[in-house]
Amino acid sequence: MKQRWWLLLEQAQATLPLLAAASLAGFTWWLVQSSPRLGGANRPSLASSAPDYVLGKARIARFDPQGRLEAVLDGQTMRHYASTDILQIDRVVLSARDEKGQGLHATSNEGEADRRAEVVTLRGAARVVATPAAHGGEPGTGLRGGGPAHFAGEGLKVDTRKRIVSSDEPVLLTQDRSQVHAQAMVYDDNTGIADMAGRVHGRYEGLTSTANGASKGKAK
């Protein structure tokens, strides 16, 4: 009886290392499976779909090397996306002025911009006003021959560095008592010339006749 008991005890002792090894292997497998995986499949999508920071009632101001204020961009909310380094903005208000005193003022329901407010895309009830300097521009030179030029559309883009206002969507140009509709436009605030494309119609006082028809022309 005692001999059989010792045989059973020896067999049990012999199987203990195997059981311990199996338990250790099972614990290791569980630890690997339950640990977070670096570079998992869903990590990049989360990073690209969510902003890395959100600012409320934010303002971006840009200065030239001499300390002169060049542009100010305000937004009710600004969301920055690291994947594109772009700001998405609600309730955009943009103001820019060059060294001659010529101003650009823009508003829209929403838009996008780089972090230095160099290029701002306006969407939804977009409005841009180009204001001539107090003593700037020769009389009759481009749109500067009259008062401020107003541009309106659902989508406008403002390059505050090059001082270009453009749109590849329908746009309305209003200045003094003049109104011109176009399907696309590029306005250069440096020269005061608006290059209007597609179907252009309306009346502009600076032109010798009424613009009406499918054409590509310049309002001077």
Q: Which is nearest to 153 in space by CA: 191, 106, 117, 198?
A: 106
CA distance 126 to 107: 6
- Per the CB < 8 A criterion, the answer to whether 182 and 171 are in contact is yes
- Ramachandran bin of 7, using left for φ above 0, alpha for ψ from -120 to 50, beta for the remaining angles: alpha
210 is written with which tokens?
Answer: 């009424």
Cβ-Cβ contacts under 8 Å for 166 (sequence gap 6 or more): 156, 157, 159, 185, 186, 187
Which residues is 180 bridged to in the sheet?
173, 202
Cβ-Cβ contacts under 8 Å for 176 (sequence gap 6 or more): 146, 147, 205
> Can you give the pLDDT at residue 10?
53
Tell me the pTM: 0.70
Q: Exposed, middle or buried, 111 (CB in 10 Å: 0-12/13-18/19+)?
A: buried
> Can you give the pLDDT at residue 24?
53
> Can you give the pLDDT at residue 99?
87
User: What is the fold of 53-219?
Assistant: lipopolysaccharide transport protein A fold (2.60.450)
Positions in the chain whose pLDDT score sits under 70: 1-48, 134-145, 206-220
144 is written with which tokens?
Answer: 């500067």
